[in-house]
Chains A and B, each alone.
Chain A
């Protein structure tokens, strides 16, 4: 009872032996009925390029949100056009959990998202463009500001424009004031857009 003592207290700190389960085994575990098993398999397939295809296939079909989270954590580390393109499709999903999880993953992929952006910005479904603004809000890319500016100036749907404005504001400067006031002119009946720009202006004009 009490604190369990080490057998040989003078031993140096143990180097941890990494798990050696083979990728083949882990891939087969992606279909295991137990969610924890699937979760661990998805995580264990980190840095295994051969697993990307199988993982992408499961993004749209995995029911358990924790397993989906782990699949996306593994996939997002492959910042490639293949992965970004495949994930971007799910921004159109009817499942809020799926589309927001995918948006969060895409926001961590600054190398590959630019390639899929033109398609997203031109998507006929305005909800997809709203999700695209969400991605741009967090994407660490020097052009993110410019893409948001384009959305604010050009998008025909007020919800998309307000989403883009919200994404832009943390990095906005006084130079952005004209485009914000123009947006209000474009959508004079949208109370939220008017309020947003009005409340943001003092902060923008105050910055040197």
Chain B
């Protein structure tokens, strides 16, 4: 058996420089605690590239603005899986703070005009908008008194087709409480579970490119938007435009959740950051002076 070549190896200085660069590009911060993990992943990237040393690879990486090299690197360094109730501390925040604030701002349950609108973008294969539906039905005490529209949108028609079909494997639903599985899912062939028709019909799906301003104009007056773990992949100008389009899709005072690795501080100053117990959320300003 051929033994693998020695690891390319990062010096402390290299690691520091890399972390600064990665933080600047994506807002994701690695500490020395993640050293081993980062070293291994970078090693893998270098090996599959045409460069022999960290220095050469890093120089090439810096030259391309969010090109393929950075895409691959981000994929290597972040968790990409989607599943039900992912990062659900943000759903906690939605239920405990955001929706009550929104409801109050819009006059309360008796006087609110029009439905509360929630958007999941990108919705991928649907786990996120369906998760939102389940948590609202099971845990929001106002759900019986207020209309709520849930929308999911993605650029990829393949994943949207899967979202419409709404059948998932064991891994995707492993965080869903048993009682909810029994109530809202049907066992279908191949060890998969399908979201029941009632929930599926509660999520309206759309195909859209988040960077397309004209297309995003169709999304208006949303009270809450989840745009999690996607902006880090965009180059500078595209992420600015995406941020602007999200702003335009929000009602004044509306809330934007980015994923755990997401921060507007790397992208755009147009939102107002707000600290909730569960973490940061962004708001479109109300415009009230």
Touching in the complex, A and B, CB below 8 A? yes
Interface size class of B (residues with CB under 8 A): 35 or more
Q: Are B218 and A17 in contact (CB under 8 A)?
A: yes
Most buried by B among A36, A76, A140, A173: A140
Of A13, A44, A110, A204, which contacts B213 at CB under 8 A?
A: A44
Q: Please determine whether A16 and B11 come into contact, CB atoms closer than 8 angstroms.
A: no
Name the one of B59, B143, B204 contacting A1, with C-beta atoms under 8 angstroms.
Answer: B143
- Chain B 254-273 interface 0/1 with A at a Cβ cutoff of 8 Å (1 = within): 00000000000000111000
Query: Which of B40-48, B146-154, B167-175 participates in binding chain A?
Result: B146-154
Residues of A within 8 A of B208 (CB): 16
B64 interface residue (CB < 8 Å to A): yes
Given contacts A9-B201, A18-B212, A207-B13, contact A3 B136 (CB under 8 A): yes
CA A17 to CA B21, docked complex, whole Å: 39
Chain B residue numbers with a CB within 8 Å of A3 are 133, 136-137, 143, 148-150, 199, 202
Residues of chain A contacted by B205 (CB below 8 angstroms): 13-14
**B143/A2 in contact, CB under 8 A:** yes
User: Is there a chain A Cβ closer than 8 Å to B244's Cβ?
Assistant: yes
A17 to B, closest residue via Cβ: B218
Report how far A3 CA is from B146 CA in the complex, Å.
Answer: 8
Q: Which B residues touch A44, using CB under 8 A?
A: 213-214, 217
Contact partners of B164 in chain A: CB under 8 A? 12-13
Query: Which among B59, B146, B153, B216 is the interface contact of A171 at CB below 8 angstroms?
Result: B59
Q: Which of B53, B136, B199, B215 contacts A16 (CB 8 A)?
A: B215
A46/B241 in contact, CB under 8 A = yes
Q: Is B35 an interface residue (CB 8 A)?
A: no
Those 6 A-B pairs whose CB atoms lie nearest each other, nearest first: A9-B201, A19-B217, A3-B202, A18-B214, A13-B205, A203-B13
- Residue contacts A-B, CB under 8 angstroms, 26 given: A1-B145, A2-B148, A3-B150, A4-B115, A4-B149, A13-B164, A13-B207, A15-B207, A16-B153, A16-B207, A16-B208, A16-B216, A16-B218, A17-B215, A17-B218, A18-B218, A19-B215, A36-B287, A43-B248, A66-B270, A73-B240, A76-B237, A140-B62, A140-B65, A207-B11, A207-B13
